[in-house]
Amino acid sequence: MAISSFHPPVRTLMGPGPSDVNPRILEAMSRPTIGHLDPAFVGMMEETKALLQYAFQTENKLTMPVSAPGSAGMEMCFVNLVEPGEKVIVCQNGVFGMRMKENVERCGATPIMIEEDWGKPVSPAKLEETLQANPDASVVAFVHAETSTGAISDAETLVKLAHQYDCLAIVDAVTSLAGSPLKVDEWEIDAIYSGTQKCVSCTPGISPVSFSERAINKIQNRKTKVQSWFLDLNLVMGYWGSNAQRSYHHTAPINSLYGFHEALVILQEEGLENSWERHATNHNALKAGVEAMGLSFFVDEAYRLPQLNAVTIPEGVDEAAVRSTLLNSYNLEIGAGLGSMAGKIWRIGLMGFASNETNVLNCLGALDAVLSEMGADIRSGKAVSAAKAAYSE
Ligand SMILES: *Cc1c(COP(=O)(O)O)cnc(C)c1O
């Protein structure tokens, strides 16, 4: 049988990631592949680092894209900053904190867990208590924007506490970067990783990371070798570092990096603050529509993410059937609940390029129609006009 070329359906991506990719990025990715040590490519790498410093609001020299998805950025932070025998405080308020614990254990270190109810932010008071009880802890790790629940934590306060007790802070900013205020230098974050496919709206497969001088100092003074060859920053710096010899480490995903460069150029054109504001505006309109329909949000307004809307499912509704009708009849993807939230919430992403008025109105209209057809207990026909009203406020 002759298998022919793959042509994906055209969807609107309003789940927890990937988000809709700006056509400018796809066009950039189709440009000719050149060698990864070609001076033209190296010049683009330098620009990418500078654009990324802007996106992260940092002057950290060690700011770069890792050639692998967000999970690899997570692993890079842990394997480099955690040595066997250390104690790491992991604040868990959703799925991604669980993965941090797993990383700590695989580094041969001991995780000290702070567990928070899902949907709540990490509690600074609990962190301080745990830091006091564990004076030998060396690292604190937490997720800034929990994509599994839609809650944001106060990163600045948590990092400050970590430093008061001589700990370095590792922050997961996969979903927050470009969607919510994030200031790496001002908040003194030591190690941060993100992803490209959430609010930066690039294709998946790259993880931007940044490390402070404090973090680099610890990495350079490790007693043991980093157990991962691929993610060992001492080696990666030889390729991406500012005074690097550009020695061969691995072949960079050349065309993906063209796309990421373009995504960051787009972010720079819009302006970071404007991007944060756009995410907030579209969230407010979606919220007006969702509430007009009679549905509610899982997370309290005070710490609700604008880019990830966890919406409660009305009584008796087959939530998977709703999602498949949205996908098949409306070409619209929304997310299911993850982990213990499965069956309890939908996750409607308004990330990056997908965070726009058309998507908000289309999503509300489609959800309203599908739920009404199913006979769900909602107020039909109100959502779209409520969202429109929110835009014109
Ligand atoms: C998506 C996500 C990740 C993982 O990123 P991948 O690119 O899927 O590996 C990690 N942390 C958070 C908070 C995320 O939302």
- C-beta atoms surrounding 380 within 10 Å: 13
What confidence score (pLDDT) does residue 240 get? 73
Pocket flag, ligand 1, residue 75 (CB < 6 Å)? no
Pocket flag, ligand 1, residue 253 (CB < 6 Å)? no
Tokens, residue 118:
């899902």
**What's the 188 CA to ligand 1 centre distance in angstroms?**
22
Pocket flag, ligand 1, residue 78 (CB < 6 Å)? no
What CATH number is given for 272-392 in this structure?
3.90.1150.10
What confidence score (pLDDT) does residue 243 get? 61
Domain ranges for the chain: 23-268, 272-392
- Separation CA 72–CA 119 (nearest Å): 25
Smallest CA-to-CA distance from 363 within 8, 18, 13 is with 13
Pocket flag, ligand 1, residue 172 (CB < 6 Å)? yes
pLDDT digits (tens, 9 = 90+) for 155-199: 999 999 999 999 999 999 999 999 999 999 999 999 999 999 999
Q: Which of 96, 122, 180 to mutate to test the pocket of ligand 1 (most atoms within 8 A of CB)?
A: 96
**What's the 227 CA to ligand 1 centre distance in angstroms?**
22
Ligand 1, atom 15: closest residue by C-alpha: 147
**What's the 195 CA to ligand 1 centre distance in angstroms?**
7
Q: Are 361 and 332 in contact (CB under 8 A)?
A: no
- Separation CA 230–CA 9 (nearest Å): 35
What confidence score (pLDDT) does residue 245 get? 67
Pocket flag, ligand 1, residue 141 (CB < 6 Å)? no
What confidence score (pLDDT) does residue 248 get? 80
Smallest CA-to-CA distance from 360 within 301, 283, 266 is with 283
Q: Are 336 and 14 in contact (CB under 8 A)?
A: no
DSSP states along 15-43: SSSPPPPPHHHHHHHTSPP--TTSHHHHH
**In what helix (H) or strand (E) does residue 193 lie, and over which residues does it extend?**
strand 191-193
**Low pLDDT (below 70) residues in the chain:** 241-245
Pocket flag, ligand 1, residue 96 (CB < 6 Å)? yes
What confidence score (pLDDT) does residue 145 get? 98
Q: Which of 147, 174, 182 to mutate to test the pocket of ligand 1 (most atoms within 8 A of CB)?
A: 174
Pocket flag, ligand 1, residue 130 (CB < 6 Å)? no
- Separation CA 19–CA 21 (nearest Å): 6
Any idea which fold 23-268 has? Aspartate Aminotransferase; domain 2 (3.40.640)
Pocket flag, ligand 1, residue 147 (CB < 6 Å)? yes
Strand, helix or coil at 282?
helix
What confidence score (pLDDT) does residue 67 get? 96
Tokens, residue 309:
């809307």
Partners of 89 in beta bridges: 112, 140
- Separation CA 69–CA 202 (nearest Å): 12
Pocket flag, ligand 1, residue 175 (CB < 6 Å)? yes
For 15: left if phi > 0, alpha if psi spans -120 to 50, otherwise beta; the answer is: beta
pLDDT digits (tens, 9 = 90+) for 60-114: 999 999 999 999 999 999 999 999 999 999 999 999 999 999 999 999 999 999 9
Prior bond to 121 cis, omega within 30?
no
What confidence score (pLDDT) does residue 87 get? 98
- Cβ contacts of residue 127 below 8 Å, gap of 6+? 89, 91, 114, 140, 158, 161, 162
Q: Find the DSSP H helices in the chain.
A: 23-29, 39-56, 70-81, 95-106, 124-133, 155-164, 213-220, 233-240, 254-270, 272-293, 319-330, 357-373, 383-392
Ligand 1, atom 7: closest residue by C-alpha: 70
Pocket flag, ligand 1, residue 204 (CB < 6 Å)? yes
Q: Looking at the whole model, is its pTM more than 0.85?
A: yes
What confidence score (pLDDT) does residue 340 get? 86
- Separation CA 353–CA 236 (nearest Å): 31
Q: Are 227 and 105 in contact (CB under 8 A)?
A: no
Smallest CA-to-CA distance from 310 within 318, 298, 300 is with 298
